[in-house]
Structure 1
Amino acid sequence: MDSKLATGLTIGFLMVLSLTSSVRLALPGLVFLSQLQSEMELVREFGSSHLLAVVRPLACLRTTLLEILPPTNADNADAYCWGPLGNRAQVFSIKKTWELIRQTAPPIYWEKSVWFKHAVPKHAFNFWESRDHVFLQCSVVDQLWAAILPRLGQQNLTLHNWDSLIAWMLTDTPGLSETLKKLLVQAVVFFLWGERNNRLHNGSPASTSVLFSKINKTLRDTLLARLPHKRCQGLLSQWFRFA
C-alpha cells in the first residue's frame, strides 16, 4: 500500500482533541494533503478514483479544520452547558432531562387516582397495572371486595371493571373521604398483584382472610402515620366506623 494512502487511512488514530471555548484539532496525518490542490492531483498521487473516494473526505476535513480559528488567551474559560440546542443552562436538571427524553402522551382522566397527596409511593407505582380480571373479576377478588366494601358502608356497591373502580374513586361519596378510598384501593391492588405473583411463581396461595388482614394492617399503619396531617385526622375513624 502506498505510504501516503496508509497515512491518510490512519488519520482517525492521530486525532488529538482539545476543548476550550472553541475546538482545536491536531491532525499530523493530514499535513501531506496540503500540497494536493485538485482532485486530478489526488488521482495522480493515489492511482485510482476508487482510492480517491477514500481520500477526498479527508481532504475536505483538512480544509474545514484549517478554517477554525485557534483559541487565544482572551477566550473565556471552559463551561459545561446542559440541554437541547437553543435552550441550554449551566445547571443540570433531572426534570428537564426526563421531559426531553421521555415519550409524551395525552393526560389521562384517572391520573389523580394514582398520584395524590398522602399516597403510599410503592402502592401508587404499582397502581398503573390495570387488569380487570386480576383485580376485579375472579372469585378470590370478589370475596375480598365483599369483605372490604362493607367496611366503608358501601356493601351495595358493585365494581364491574377498572373504569367503574376509577369512577368510584374520583366521585364524591357522602361521609367517605376520597383520600381514604384512594389509599384503600391502591393497597388492595398492591396486595392482589403480590398474590398473583406468589401463586404464579411459588404455588402457595393465600386465603381471602389472610389478604384482608394484610390490607387492614397496612391501611391502619398508613393512616396512623398520617395522623399529624389535618386532612387525614378523621380517616382512621371512618375505616373503623363499620367494623
Structure 2
Amino acid sequence: MSSTTWERLRPKQEVKSWVDVVWFKGAIPKLSFNMWVANYDRLPTRSRLVAWGLPISANCPLCSNYFETRDHLLLSCTYNQAIWREVFSRCNHPVAPFTNWAELLSWIRAATSSKVRLLRKLATQLVVYHLWKQRNNLIHNQISLPPATVFRNIDRELRNIISARRHRKGYASLMVMWLR
C-alpha cells in the first residue's frame, strides 16, 4: 500500500545522462548538491537575477567583461582559466576549451579509466563549488582572492578527500594521479 502511494506521489522518470557526474559513490554531499543546482542552470547568477527584476548589473563580478551566466562564470571567465589550467594539468587536458556545460560533462565522461573519471568528477565538483563560493565572497564580503589561492584551497580539499578515502576501492591511486 505505501509503495503504491509513493509511486503515485513520485512517478519514476528516465535516468538522466548526467546523473553519474553529479551523484556517485564517494561524492561529497555539499559538492554534489552544488553541482546538481549548477547542472540544472539554477544558480542565482546575476543574469538570472536581472531577469527576475532585480535592479543590479548583470556583469560578472569576477571579470566585469561579460554577463554572469553559469557557463561564463564556471567555464569561460578569465578569472577561472588559471584554476582550470591547474586541474587540466592533473586530469588530462580537453581537446579544446569548453564553450558550454555539455562539453564539460562530456570531458568528465570521456576519461579513459574509471580512476581518471572519478578524479575528474571530484575536481570538477570542487572547482564549481569554489568558484561559486568565491563569487559570493566577492559580492557579499568584497573579498577577492587570487585564482592561485582558490586553486590552493581546491587542491587542499581534494587531497583531504582522497586521504580520507584512501582505503576505499578506486581511491588508492588517486593521490599519485593528482600530484603528478
CA deviation profile, 1:33-56 (whole Å, cap 9, x unmatched): xxxxxxxxxxxxxxxxxxxxxxxx
Look up the equivalent residue of 1:213 and give its one-letter code. R
- Runs of 5+ unmatched residues, structure 2: 40-69
Residues 206 and 172 of structure 1: CA distance in aligned 2, closer, same or farther (over 3 Å) = same
Residues 179 and 104 of structure 1: CA distance in aligned 2, closer, same or farther (over 3 Å) = same
Q: Which has the higher helix share?
A: 2
SS at match of 2:93: coil
Match of 1:163 in 2: 102
User: How far 1:233 moved relative to its partner?
Assistant: 0.4
Is structure 2 residue 146 aligned with structure 1 residue 213?
no
Residues 127 and 134 of structure 1: CA distance in aligned 2, closer, same or farther (over 3 Å) = same
Q: How does 1:75-224 map to 2 (within 5 A)?
A: 83=2, 87=4, 96=6, 100-102=8-10, 106-128=14-36, 129-130=38-39, 131-154=70-93, 157-173=96-112, 177-224=116-163
* Contact persistence 1:169–1:182 (CA under 8 A): yes
- Runs of 5+ unmatched residues, structure 1: 1-81, 89-95
Is structure 2 residue 142 aligned with structure 1 residue 234?
no
* Contact persistence 2:31–2:126 (CA under 8 A): yes
Look up the equivalent residue of 2:120 and give its one-letter code. K
Match of 2:164 in 1: 225
C-alpha separation between the residues in 2 aligned to 1:83 and 1:153?
48
Structure of greater Rg:
1
* Contact persistence 1:146–1:155 (CA under 8 A): no
Residues 205 and 154 of structure 1: CA distance in aligned 2, closer, same or farther (over 3 Å) = same
CA deviation profile, 1:204-230 (whole Å, cap 9, x unmatched): 111101100000000000000111112
SS at match of 1:177: helix
C-alpha separation between the residues in 1 aligned to 2:94 and 2:105?
17
